[in-house]
């Protein structure tokens, strides 16, 4: 069920209200991108993690941003379309599947069984550096999801003509 904004529901954009905290998040995100690159995670895999976590958190703003980034990095519309059902396809490599499972377990930390299963799968497909990087990417996008969801950041139509 989609929630509609309550009339008069004017949210505080916490990133604008507390810019020093948001700037620290941006610095952390840059470090996480560097860690991911150094670990050998390509841009597409990082964006798949960002998108999957954003799907789980229902963050429209981050979904819009990272879907575009994934497409620009060379991801296909088909794989993006089936990402919510990634376990039911053969479109994702064992490495991608391990990263997605680990990202989901990081996003839902209360599910200890899923965490154990995801970690075991990750151990078989990813190096220690890659495991660490995937977890940091998931932690980072989870934080940004919360900022955007709680602020109700709008998603604007990127295909609409600019108004004059």
What pLDDT shows up at residue 2? Answer: 44
Please work out, in degrees rounded to the nearest 5, the angle formed at the alpha carbon of residue 58 by the alpha carbons of 117 and 156. 145
Element (H, E) at 5: none
Dump pLDDT digits (tens) for 4-38: 555 567 889 999 999 999 999 999 999 999 999 99
DSSP string of 87-152, one letter each residue: GG-S-S-HHHHHHHHHHHHHHSTT-HHHHHHHHHHHHHHS-HHHHHHHHHHHHHHHHHHHHHHHHT
Least confident segment among 42-51, 73-82, 121-130, 149-158: 149-158
- For residues 24 and 36, the answer to whether their CB atoms sit within 8 Å is no
Say how far apart CA 14 and CA 32 lie, in whole Å.
Answer: 21
What pLDDT shows up at residue 159? Answer: 75
CB atoms within 10 A of CB 142: 20
Regarding predicted confidence, which is higher, 45 or 159? 45
Predicted model pTM:
0.90
* Residue 37, CA distances (Å) to 30, 34, 43, 68 in order: 11, 5, 8, 19
Structure confidence at residue 1 as a pLDDT band (50, 70, 90): very low
Q: Which two tokens stand for residue 137?
A: 């990417």
Q: Which CATH superfamily is domain 18-151 in?
A: AhpD-like (1.20.1290.10)
Dump pLDDT digits (tens) for 85-142: 999 999 999 999 999 999 999 999 999 999 999 999 999 999 999 999 999 999 999 9
- Structural domain boundaries of the chain? 18-151
Q: Which two tokens stand for residue 106?
A: 């990081």
């Amino acid at each position: 069920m989609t929630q509609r904004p309550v009339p008069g529901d004017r949210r505080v954009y916490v990133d604008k209200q507390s810019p020093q905290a948001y700037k620290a998040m941006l610095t952390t995100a840059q470090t996480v991108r560097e860690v991911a690159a150094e670990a050998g995670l390509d841009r597409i895999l990082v964006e798949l993690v960002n998108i999957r976590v954003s799907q789980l958190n229902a963050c429209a703003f981050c979904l819009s941003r990272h879907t575009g980034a994934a497409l620009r990095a060379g991801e296909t519309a088909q794989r993006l379309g089936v990402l919510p059902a990634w376990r039911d396809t053969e479109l994702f490599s064992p490495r991608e599947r391990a990263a997605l499972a680990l990202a989901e377990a990081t996003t839902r930390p209360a599910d200890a069984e899923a965490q154990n299963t995801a970690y075991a799968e990750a151990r078989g497909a990813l190096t220690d550096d890659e495991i660490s990087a995937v977890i940091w990417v998931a932690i980072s996008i989870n934080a940004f999801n919360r900022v955007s969801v709680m602020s109700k950041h709008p998603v604007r139509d990127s295909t609409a003509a600019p108004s004059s």
